[in-house]
Amino acid sequence: MEKYAIENMLQYENVRLFSFFNNYDLICNLDYYVDDIHYSEDVNNLILQWMKSGEYELTKENYEDYIAKEKAFYTSYDYDQLFGEQQ
């Protein structure tokens, strides 16, 4: 579904699309999250800076590589580690 949505949005010249799901240092660090759906203020500021500079922008030229890398990461991720012993 994500690939389908990306392909459809990238058809429009007035759309700039960004995704940070391939920033694994960010998304895998649970300390950055305030609640289930929001990042901390610091991360929100980083995201705005990345958008301004064009980092993590999806384009017709790079979205398929992005999708392939994202799929590889999430299908090989060690989810069991999330349920390991709490320190």
Domain presence at residue 44: yes
Q: Tokens 């940070």 — which residue? A: 20
Domain range for 70 is 2-16+34-77
Q: Pick out the chain residues at pLDDT < 70.
A: 34, 36-38, 85-87
| pLDDT for the residue 36 | 61
Domain presence at residue 12: yes
Domains in the chain: how many in total? 1
Residue ranges with strand state E in 3-86:
17-18, 57-58
Alpha carbons 58 and 66: distance in angstroms, whole number: 8
The predicted-structure confidence for 66-86, as pLDDT tens digits, reads as follows 999 999 999 999 888 878 755
pTM of the predicted model, to two decimals?
Answer: 0.80
| pLDDT for the residue 32 | 76
Domain presence at residue 7: yes
| pLDDT for the residue 34 | 67
Domain presence at residue 24: no
| pLDDT for the residue 86 | 53
Domain presence at residue 48: yes
Domain presence at residue 84: no
Domain presence at residue 61: yes
